Structure 1
């Protein structure tokens, strides 16, 4: 009777885990079935795991310049050159976009402003993450982690830069070369654009999840409304927008690559080993 009960247990476990089996290892002494299955963490545990991942993503972004190679510095040089060139014509381009403001429907301008505001943008990223968390969909949840990590990393950079640089907004009439560092006044927080940073990180992160170029184009088209709206309103110069977008792109791309290489999901694995011999049947799980 005891052997029948043991055999029943074995068949039950085999039924439950058979669809998850990764390999079958046969030795001379015994037969060992090694079953690697994905164990979905509890919501609380998953929050801890993802919190660590977000912290690691941010640390990686801030420390990555110390390990940049030649190609990375070439990219930085290209962005710096582009920013300088746009800066040279900032007064002219700024006036052009301000002149177009009256031709743009107010609903589009309002959408651009509210879409890029921190409370709304983080609301979107939170919805994406929480959807993946509660539905236990790793792809959606990882997208949320990427969005939160990138937005926070870039957001801290732009917040510090605004304070240090203190560039006057186009709407003040001070011109492209007027700076008032550490003023704390909203009129002198033009460089870079916070709205653009948040929207760009969101759009770049979402676009990473799709291979269809038309889908990517649609995502980018929606994302470009916010930076355009900020120039129509005279809140930012073109060079502010360009640098903000570049910062967001490289942060999202670097974070995405880092997450792809990261093996943090190993924390969610259980290794099951079923050991059989003439006189013994055992099931061992390693967490």
Structure 2
């Protein structure tokens, strides 16, 4: 364990799932400025497309994402139509763009969009943009909603990497965070994806959750290793009930202390390294044969 990682696990720092990070966004970036940025892109500039779907079937207690719960089809269909309009707007403002090298669907649970909507949007991107032959096309999935039909649809869309929100396999922890999904359910989801031809899988795990112990988190890591994902993200839970009101459903007295939180992170990290995964940055791990690990070893890894 490095001093850097120990310091990171003990501190509150900005999430860096986007770049620039969220605190750097401001109202000074107007539609005109954004339009100028798009128009200034040249064939030398490679592009990435991110499609955010802010809907889930239900809200998990720990969630810090921008999403809302819905069980209705109408808002999903409406939102898919809006995404299509946004894709057309962006494409119209690009004068001489380069190739799209990355597509990422995030949320929320983007796979809640009707399968035909997913296919239509993927087809629009093929028409509107120049997609690189070696594009990484990734999607975030809730393993509770991965059907065999969805797995086939994702492959038809050209998706070649999927990230599954696992968090923790312990039943007591799952009840505490409002995300009940058995090991067998997650195993079935991974089998469906692999059977359809989608072999590049990521698992998201979390430490610092209520009811977690060294025993439970080490068991979660062991079960994760059994399922053999190519990449694993190990995130620290951020308890911010003043920002995310649904987090008030979590009993704060059951959260680990700062010292316990660090011990959880260290134990999970040590077991992942012992299992043969390579550490990439502060909280990501990859099998040695994964493209991220290979790029890191060759000094070619870029954000």
Same fold, TM exceeding 0.5? Answer: no
Q: Which has the larger radius of gyration?
A: 1
The TM-score by the shorter chain falls in which range? Answer: under 0.3
Q: Structure 1 length normalisation: TM-score? A: 0.23
Task: Give the structure, 1 or 2, with the largest relative contact order (CA under 8 Å, sep 6 or more).
Answer: 1
Higher strand share: 2
Higher helix share: 1
